[in-house]
Copies of this chain bind each other. A is one copy, B any other.
Amino acid sequence: MNKVFKALSDPTRRRVLQLLRRRPMVAGELAEHFEVSKPTMSAHFAVLRGAGLVETERNGKTIIYRLKMSVLEDALLGFTQAFGLEIQSKEASIVSGDRHRKESGS
């Protein structure tokens, strides 16, 4: 869970997650939304992947990034619960390609 918070501590990475919330995206497409270089974005992606917040799938020349909503939820849940806060999904659509899968992450 610490890796998740570390990942969330950078505004660029938070924005990446928000973009991925809409739909999975290809690395280059994602990178276009930001003003930093592609290698820099690649490093951000690596941090997000290391935290288990995104997963990748190769598709020919491109690599698709997909948000793992359940990992984000679980981390947020674990933290907020310790503060007497409750977190829940408004929409049933935590889906968008991802199936609220249980997966062991770091």
- On A, residues with C-beta under 8 Å from B are 2, 5-6, 8-9, 11, 14, 17-18, 21, 69, 72-73, 76, 79-80, 82-91, 93-94
Q: Are B18 and A82 in contact (CB under 8 A)?
A: yes
Instruction: Tell me the number of copies of this protein.
Output: 2
Q: Are B80 and A87 in contact (CB under 8 A)?
A: yes
Residues of chain B with a CB closer than 8 A to A18's CB: 82-83
Q: Are A2 and B8 in contact (CB under 8 A)?
A: no
Bound-state Cα–Cα, A90 to B85, Å:
6
Bound-state Cα–Cα, A73 to B84, Å:
11
Evaluate whether A5 and B8 lie within 8 angstroms (CB atoms) in the complex, with A72-B83, A79-B14, A88-B86 already known: yes
Residues of chain B with a CB closer than 8 A to A69's CB: 83
Residues of chain B with a CB closer than 8 A to A79's CB: 8, 14
CB distance from A78 to the nearest CB of B (A): 11
Evaluate whether A84 and B9 lie within 8 angstroms (CB atoms) in the complex, with A14-B79, A76-B76, A79-B14 already known: no
